[in-house]
Amino acid sequence: MKDLRSFIARLASAGQLRRVTAEVSANLEIGEIASRLVASGGPAALFENVAGHQMPVLVGAFASMQRMAWALGGDDLDAIASDLGARLRLPAADAGLIEKLKAAPRLLKVAGAAPKTVRSGPCREVIHTDDADLEHLPILTCWPGDGGPFITLGQVYTTDPASGSRNVGMYRMQVFGPRRLGMHWHRDHDGARNFRAWAERGEAMPVAVALGGDPVLTYAATAPLPLGFDELVLAGILRGDPVRLVGGVTVPVAVPADAEIVIEGTVAPDETAVEGPFGDHTGYYTPPDTYPVMRVTAVTHRADAIYPTTVVGRFPKEDCYLAKATERLFLPVIRTVVPEVVDLNLPLFGVFHNWAFVSIRKTHPWQARKVMHALWGLGQMACTKFLVVVDETVNVHDAEEVLWRVGAEADPQRDLVVTTGPADVLDHAAPPDRPPGKLGIDATRKHPEEVGGRPWPDPIVPDPEVADRVARRWKEYGFDDHET
Ligand SMILES: Cc1cc2nc3c(=O)[nH]c(=O)nc-3n(C[C@H](O)[C@H](O)[C@H](O)COP(=O)(O)O)c2cc1C
Ligand SMILES: [Mn+2]
């Protein structure tokens, strides 16, 4: 897709977009509507009449598995994931180590995926520099206890001062005033790393924030790529076409030409402000804390710009589906490192890090423990707090089935792995004075070696021939299809 408009048109043609012409407030009201829509599986909404603002507000564009797949240019996230794996020429899960190592350089330069620079683009139709004013944007205040309005769906473009390499990350930004933003990048995220690198030189970091453009860009900003891997290369691979960039107006940072809105500025090494509270995706308010401040030097936008945003809070919310896209897209990558992994569910209620359900093809004793430690050593999976391992026959996307297996297959003393490791910054239950805890539950069938030679009972499954016959004769018995 070329831009946000193409995506809006796609949603509209599928009956998945509602245009709201009634006047609504950016203060709490749109947030409440967005929460209800996502909870009920409702459509995305384009608010065309936001009190006190010219610009329409888009929410919920990514708020289902189907819309998320459309955002990435396909119909189904698993199909997109296997296509991506093929384009990256990921080695098969059972490939040897040498083949996997040989694949690494290939992953870094996929032909034709690097962004290209163009001279101008629609994001520069209107340019404000000295008269730039964030208060002209319909930025939402989402929850009653929030410290103010927050930009929640921005792609934050930064660079490493030494190599010039780009990073795109999604970090929320609190509006402190007409030209001041709080930069809530977690200390371990690449935007924070780039900021520290500029600060160590005593220099302010140039930053640009893009809103909109191809929806792939919004997703790419949330993708957990290793430091140094340009999110725009991932976007280029997913689109099958390079991202088009335009140079900065007031800072040397390029941004997508087809964005709706661009905010430029600098973040000085020594200026901080108290950010928050913010009603976060944990379902709780994150308390106020000190973060760097961006001084805005320009706001540019399309003549008829649309402001895209999202509302986070107690699940289910739109960001859960961005996380689901990562779960699907990165599963083939996880399998190149932990080949016995069959499927993975980061359930919506687990809010990214609290719960992971993983199924494995188990071939040897204590393998579930190996998988736990491997996942706890893998990128952002390191923050997983509760990790349940089940056999490949279990549908990890059915939480009730997973809990049934935990109850049936796990012994509370033998099968729990209690250990420590890093916690998500937002985990308010993590102890501040010692390493945060982690719990792994081995709910796989036990091999004789794991249980002193005792045989493990077989699960009950229907006779396949009879099941087939009953399915065929269902109507003949006088039952309706929905009664099966
Ligand atoms: C809606 C939404 C809001 C987010 N807000 C933040 C945030 O405020 N701070 C942060 O560090 N990460 C936030 N994230 C997560 C990061 O975008 C994500 O971890 C990303 O991989 C970071 O990229 P980076 O490693 O290049 O910095 C948010 C994600 C989503 C989907
Ligand atoms: Mn990154």
pLDDT class of 403 with cuts at 50, 70, 90: very high
Residues 441-455: tens digit of each pLDDT: 999 999 999 999 999
pLDDT, position 431: 97
pLDDT class of 228 with cuts at 50, 70, 90: confident
Residue with tokens 């996380």: 323
Pocket test for ligand 1, best of 35, 140, 167, 189 (most atoms within 8 A of CB): 189
Residues 164-185: tens digit of each pLDDT: 999 999 999 999 999 999 999 9
Q: How far is the CA of 189 from the centre of ligand 1 (A)?
A: 8
pLDDT class of 9 with cuts at 50, 70, 90: very high
- Look up the pTM and report it: 0.95
Catalytic one of 3, 146, 214, 280: 280
Any atom of ligand 1 within 6 Å of the Cβ of 166: no
pLDDT, position 47: 98
Phi, psi of 140 (to 5 degrees): -80, 145
The closest ligand to the CA of 193 turns out to be 1
- Token couple for 81: 């994931």
The pLDDT of residue 465 is above 70: yes
Residue 158 neighbours by CB under 8 Å, 6+ apart: 166, 167, 169, 190, 191, 194, 195, 205, 206, 207, 253
- Token couple for 69: 């797949």
Average pLDDT, the chain: 95
What is the percentage of the chain residues whose pLDDT exceeds 70? 97
pLDDT, position 109: 58
pLDDT, position 107: 59
The closest ligand to the CA of 352 turns out to be 1
Any atom of ligand 1 within 6 Å of the Cβ of 355: no
Residue having the nearest C-alpha atom to atom 5 of ligand 1: 171
Please state the rounded mean pLDDT for residues 257-274. 98
Do residues 323 and 352 lie in contact, with contact meaning Cβ atoms separated by under 8 Å? yes
Please state the rounded mean pLDDT for residues 152-173. 97
Q: How far is the CA of 154 from the centre of ligand 2 (A)?
A: 14
Please state the rounded mean pLDDT for residues 291-306. 98
280 among known catalytic residues:
yes
Weakest mean pLDDT among 50-64, 83-97, 162-176, 393-407: 83-97
Residues 84-103: tens digit of each pLDDT: 888 887 777 777 767 766 66
Any atom of ligand 1 within 6 Å of the Cβ of 191: yes
- Token couple for 417: 């792995």
Any atom of ligand 1 within 6 Å of the Cβ of 311: no
364 by Cβ neighbours in 10 Å (0-12 / 13-18 / 19+) ranks as exposed
> Taking Cα atoms as reference points, which of 169, 199, 206 lies closest to residue 272?
199
Please state the rounded mean pLDDT for residues 418-437. 96
The pLDDT of residue 108 is above 60: no
DSSP string, 32-95: HHHHHHHHTT--EEEES-BTT-SS-EEE-TT-SHHHHHHHTTSS-HHHHHHHHHHHHTPPPTT-
Separation CA 429–CA 437 (nearest Å)? 10
Do residues 73 and 1 lie in contact, with contact meaning Cβ atoms separated by under 8 Å? yes
Please state the rounded mean pLDDT for residues 215-237. 94
The closest ligand to the CA of 229 turns out to be 2
